[in-house]
Amino acid sequence: MTSRALSQGRVGGGPRPELRALPLAIVLAAAALVVSSARSPSRLEPELSWAPPSWAHPLGCGEGGVDLLALVAHASLRAVLLAACVALVGFVVGCPLGAGAAVRRGRFERGVARACDLVQAFPTFLLALVVLSAVRSPSRVHLGLVFVLTAWAPFARLALAQTRVLRDQAFVEAARAIGVTPARVVLRHLVPNLLGVVAVQLGAAAAAVVVSEAALSFVGFGARDGVSLGVVLDQGVSAMLRAPHVLLVGAAAVFVTSVSLMAAGRAFDPTFARRPRRK
C-alpha cells in the first residue's frame, strides 16, 4: 500500500535531466573543497566567533570562529559516504533476502514479511541510543552498524512485493524449467529486474541516514570528531539570536544533502523502468 501511495504521490513524472547532475555536482564540490584542504574544520579563530558571512568566509563563522564552509563541506561529504555505505549494505542484504523469500514462498516468506514489518516500524533512534550508550566514544563505524541493523528491511520488503509479481512470469518459469538453481534464479534473473524500483529506495535510504546522523549528533549522540551537520545546527540553535546565519546554513545543508540523495535515487528510476532488462 505504501509503495503505491509513493508512486502516486510522484507528481509530474521523473526529475528533469539537468536536475540529475545536481547531486553529483554538490558532492564533487564538497569533495574538491575537502581535498584541496584550503579550509579546515578544526582551525579555530576565536576573534572571528559567530562572524557573519564575508568574502573570506562565504558562509560565515561558527562557535570559536570555525569556518562554516569548511565544516559543512567536510560534514556533508562524510555523511554522504556513510549513507552510501549503509544504503549499499542494506541493498546487498535486503534484496536477495526479499526476492529469495518470495521465491521460496510459504512460511519463510511470511516470516521475512513479518520481520520487515517489525524492523521497519521500529524506532531506529532507540536502537541507536542502546548501541551507542554502550560504546565509550562513538565513531562513524558504530553509527553505520546501527543504521545497517534496520536498513535492510525496506529493501527486503520492496524486493518481496516486486518478486511476488515477477515470480510467476514466463522467464522465471523457463529458467527453473531448464534446471537453474533457486539461488541463481534470484541473483541472475530476479534481482536485475528489481533494480529500477530499488534505486529509488537506495536514494531514500541514504537520505534517511544523512538525516538520522545529523539528528543524533544534534542531540549529542554523534561521532566524537564533531564534524557533522548536526553540530552546525546545534551551534545555530544555541546562537539563534546572536548569529542566525549559522542556523540557516545548517538547516539548508541538511535539506540540500538529503534532497539531493533522494533525487539521485530517482534519477535512476525512469531509465530502468522504461526499458525492462531482458535476460
Residues that bind other proteins (CB under 8 A): 1-2, 4-6, 8-11, 118, 120-127, 129-136, 207, 211-212, 214-215, 218-221, 230, 233, 236-237, 240-241, 244, 247-248, 250-252, 254-255, 258-259, 262
Residue number, 60 or 236, with CB nearest to other proteins: 236
Residue number, 73 or 175, with CB nearest to other proteins: 73
Residue number, 166 or 252, with CB nearest to other proteins: 252
Residue number, 242 or 274, with CB nearest to other proteins: 242
| 233 vs 256: CA distance, rounded Å | 14
Residue of 131, 164, 126 lying closest to 145 (CA atoms): 131
The CA distances from residue 8 to 42, 138, 144, 152, in Å, are 46, 40, 32, 24
Cα angle 14, 85, 267 (rounded to 5 degrees) comes to: 10
State which H helix or E strand residue 179 sits in: none
CB of 45 to other proteins, least distance (A): 25
CB of 258 to other proteins, least distance (A): 5
Determine the residue type at 131: V
Residue number, 39 or 245, with CB nearest to other proteins: 245
| Phi-psi domain of 87 (left: phi exceeds 0; alpha: psi -120 through 50; beta: other) | alpha
CB of 150 to other proteins, least distance (A): 9
Residue number, 69 or 146, with CB nearest to other proteins: 146
Residue identified by cell 563563522 is 61
For the chain, count helices (H), then strands (E). 11, 0
The CA distances from residue 6 to 3, 10, 154, 204, 231, in Å, are 5, 7, 13, 12, 32
Residues contacting 117, CB < 8 A, separation 6+:
157
CB of 16 to other proteins, least distance (A): 15
Residue number, 49 or 120, with CB nearest to other proteins: 120
CB of 145 to other proteins, least distance (A): 11
CB of 206 to other proteins, least distance (A): 13
CB of 256 to other proteins, least distance (A): 9
Answer whether 218's CB lies under 8 Å from 234's CB. yes
Residue number, 48 or 129, with CB nearest to other proteins: 129
CB of 2 to other proteins, least distance (A): 7
Q: Is 242 exposed, middle or buried (0-12, 13-18, 19+ CB in 10 A)?
A: exposed
